[in-house]
Structure 1
């Protein structure tokens, strides 16, 4: 088991559920509501699981490999994307299911999510496979699967400031006793121990 594969599996399911929504007649509001309820809960849970498990690990291995700027940029972008997805989900919740405004909000969620998945698959997941060994990816996969299973009914959607998220994660990472290097581009204090 590999966390990058679990994330890709989730992406496939998200794409499938959006495709199902696109094929349901707008008059079938009960069906639209049921599918959207499942999908929106899943999108929020997936984002939160990534924020709790995947992105802290990506930052850790990227900084240890001296790719700080790259993994910080990828993480900042991902958190921003998660906020856009949550905001579109919240917007859909302000409209009656099946209306033009509801469909516009669902489409906005689909577009934000599609952009996020494409970038994550091209950048973050690829970098993580290169930087983290299979035992670490397996360990994180177990944690990721357990997190999603424990929270299958949903999580509280909360937008996060991307820079503050990165700063808070980096502050929790183990540091060496060496003083911080200036001009490294890192948002944190100190250099990290390789894992």
Structure 2
């Protein structure tokens, strides 16, 4: 098991669920509601698992990849992205399911999430694969799987300040 593969698997599931919403008839509001509720919870559990398990490890092991100068830059950007995704997800619940406004809000959430996944896949995950041992990647995968499995019904969504988050992690030895 490898945490970077688990992240990729989760990203694929997120893409699949957004795709399902695009294919459900807008008058089938019970199905749209069920799939959206599942996706909204999944997005938050995934983000929280990254914040608790992946990004602290990246801050300790990473050296930077892609256009980022280092793991602090990668992590700050990811936390900012998570906040934007949380806000976009929350905005969907402000609209009646199946309406044009609801679909536009879902599209905004999809765009924020897609942008984040692309950056994470080419930066943070690449950095981690290049600098973390296979054993560390396995150990974190076990923790990540355990975290997500224990929270299938969701977690409390709360935005984080990227700088405060990094400061709280950097001084620790937790990975």
TM-score in same-fold range (> 0.5): yes
Residue in structure 2 matched with residue 172 of structure 1 by the alignment: 172
Aligned CA-pair RMSD: 1.5
Higher Cα radius of gyration: 1
Residue in structure 1 matched with residue 157 of structure 2 by the alignment: 157
In structure 1, stretches of 5+ residues that fail to align are 175-194
Distance in structure 1 (CA, Å) of the matches to 2:170 and 2:105: 34
Q: How does 1:34-113 map to 2 (within 5 A)?
A: 34-62=34-62, 69-113=69-113
Kindly tell me the number of residue pairs found equivalent between the two proteins: 171
In structure 2, stretches of 5+ residues that fail to align are none
Distance in structure 2 (CA, Å) of the matches to 1:161 and 1:102: 28
Distance in structure 2 (CA, Å) of the matches to 1:70 and 1:41: 30
Residue in structure 2 matched with residue 144 of structure 1 by the alignment: 144
Q: 1:120 deviation in Å?
A: 0.4
Residue in structure 2 matched with residue 180 of structure 1 by the alignment: none
- When normalised by structure 1's length, the TM-score is 0.85
Distance in structure 2 (CA, Å) of the matches to 1:118 and 1:58: 17
Which 4+ residue blocks in structure 1 deviate beyond 6 angstroms? none
Q: 1:100 deviation in Å?
A: 1.6
Q: 1:91 deviation in Å?
A: 0.5
